[in-house]
Amino acid sequence: MEILELAGKVHDETRQGEAFNPLGSDQQSFKKHFYIESYGCAMNFADSEVVASILNAEGFGATKNAEEADLVLINTCSIREKAELTVRKRLTEFRSLKKKKPGMLIGMLGCMAERLKAKLLEEEKLVDLVVGPDAYRSLPALIGEAETGQKAVNVLLSRDETYGDIAPIRLDSNGVCAFVSIMRGCNNMCSFCVVPFTRGRERSRDAYSILTEVEHLFHTGYREVTLLGQNVDSYYWIDESNDETITFAKLLEKVALVSPLLRVRFSTSHPKDITDEVLYTIAKYENICNYIHLPVQSGSNRILQLMNRTYTKEWYIAKVNRIREILPDCGLSTDMITGFCTETEEDHRETYSLMEYCKYDLAYMYFYSERPGTLAEKRYEDDIPEEVKKRRLQEIIALHRIHSLESMQRDVNKTFKVLIEADSKKSEQDWHGRTDHNKVVIFPKEKYALKKGDYVNVFVHSCTAGTLLGKISNE
């Protein structure tokens, strides 16, 4: 799975679970309440916003306190073993909570649903309902079944479900940045990845529903959208009213044209599918951010073949060169896996050398975690000792930290247009924002009458390995 939920530091396998509350909801008007935690990628967090919308329509309001909830949901991730262990721990805690509130229902959503439904429902009795990523519309009926004491399950995958007609409720949002799903599923069948089996085949959302959602976000104050898909570059939708084929490049342009004040990001790009047309579209519009996440996973051609990545190291380098030719100032990030099946020290050195060449601004690095049901689990032995996986991971992390610091240092003594997103976590006297290269900038508020969602020029005077530090510029 190659969707990123946040850019910045080394990825620690899964984003921490978060409970969400729809902004502006009048909790007194709801007779029942739900509590939801989400784990993993941005797509899961976006799905939780769809779920919140469905539940609101059924008379459920959100609460940030699980103790107050009539319905507790956990939106799961299967991409790493650590995520599954965390989910199990939380479900056990919720079960203890349910003993104090017998009418409470506990549900599991998302990617763990199909594989673990029987175990969690019948054997361990941790949940009352299980709902797969394509079955959220059936939640009201499943809740009704669970209320009668039945075990309610729907994990069927769909060939056409995109939830394009459901307006997500923005949950715990900063009111500035939002995710917009443009497609679901994946056709790539990378051997290490469980996504094609948990989210189904690829299908693209109606372009007009995407634009309607983006326009609504902009008119309600949002100033940045991230277009989400397992592989956004393969977005493909035909407008039958005029027989127009809308590729990702065309969709990207349409979204950029909503307003020059709306920043546009996207995630994730598969190296084999990102086109020159996309790159030239980024170059054409100032509000499409100069930042591309281009997961490579390994620098070894032998390992890439085992992973079924369908490109070579040399082909990937040529794509990176093309990006830098068309977008010289483009930020670049990647995903990298160490310790995949049969990986040798020579394979590891190939990965190291690729990172030396690309010098990524950001990197999300993992050691290989075999996932049940994947092609790798069926075909290959997970034969690299964990201590070797971790040692190799630490070596590429150390290298990336050097590259990350160098990348930050290159921005010192430069001025950047920054979108203000929130107060700094460390001080309410400072703003937190990002450049269009996806780098975090912290700077004093001083006496300027600024607010979240404003753009401001910031002169960068220093940095850390992960943050730019600056001051508002009057130039």
Give CA–CA dist 265/438, Å, rounded: 9
> Which residue matches tokens 């909801």?
25
| pLDDT reported for residue 24 | 39
* pLDDT exceeds 70 at position 10: no
Considering the segment(s) 415-472 as one domain, its CATH architecture is Beta Barrel (2.40)
Mean pLDDT of 99-120: 87
Confidence of residue 23 (pLDDT cuts 50, 70, 90): very low
The domain made up of 177-408 has a fold known as pyruvate-formate lyase- activating enzyme (3.80.30)
Lowest mean pLDDT: which of 151-160, 205-214, 282-291, 434-443?
A: 151-160
Task: Decide if 297 contacts 309 (C-beta within 8 A).
Answer: yes
Q: How many CB atoms lie within 10 A of CB 340?
A: 26
| pLDDT reported for residue 170 | 87
Task: Decide if 83 contacts 14 (C-beta within 8 A).
Answer: yes
* pLDDT exceeds 60 at position 116: yes
| pLDDT reported for residue 433 | 98
Lowest mean pLDDT: which of 167-171, 215-219, 411-415, 426-430?
A: 167-171
Helix (H, G, I), strand (E, B) or coil at 220: coil
* pLDDT exceeds 70 at position 329: yes
> Which residue matches tokens 């990523």?
133
* pLDDT exceeds 70 at position 27: no
Within the chain, which residue ranges are assigned CATH 2.40.50.140?
A: 415-472
Task: Decide if 290 contacts 331 (C-beta within 8 A).
Answer: yes
Q: Rank 74-88, 108-122, 229-243, 339-353 by mean pLDDT and report only the highest.
A: 339-353
| pLDDT reported for residue 14 | 34
Within the chain, which residue ranges are assigned CATH 3.80.30.20?
A: 177-408
Q: Which string of DSSP letters, residue by residue, matches 372-429?
A: TTSHHHHHS---S-HHHHHHHHHHHHHHHHHHHHHHHHHTTT-EEEEEEEEE-SS-TT
* pLDDT exceeds 50 at position 1: no
* pLDDT exceeds 90 at position 105: yes
Report residue 191 as tokens. 């051997």
Give the E-state strand segments of 240-361 in sequence order: 244-247, 263-267, 291-293, 331-338
Choose between 274 and 15: higher pLDDT.
Answer: 274
Confidence of residue 22 (pLDDT cuts 50, 70, 90): very low
Give CA–CA dist 360/407, Å, rounded: 8
The domain made up of 15-154 has a fold known as Rossmann fold (3.40.50)
Q: pTM to 2 decimals?
A: 0.89
How many CA atoms within 13 Å lie on the side-chain side of 72?
A: 26
Within the chain, which residue ranges are assigned CATH 3.40.50.12160?
A: 15-154
Q: Dihedrals φ, ψ of 272, to 5°?
A: -75, -15
| 367 alpha carbon, distance to own chain's centre | 19
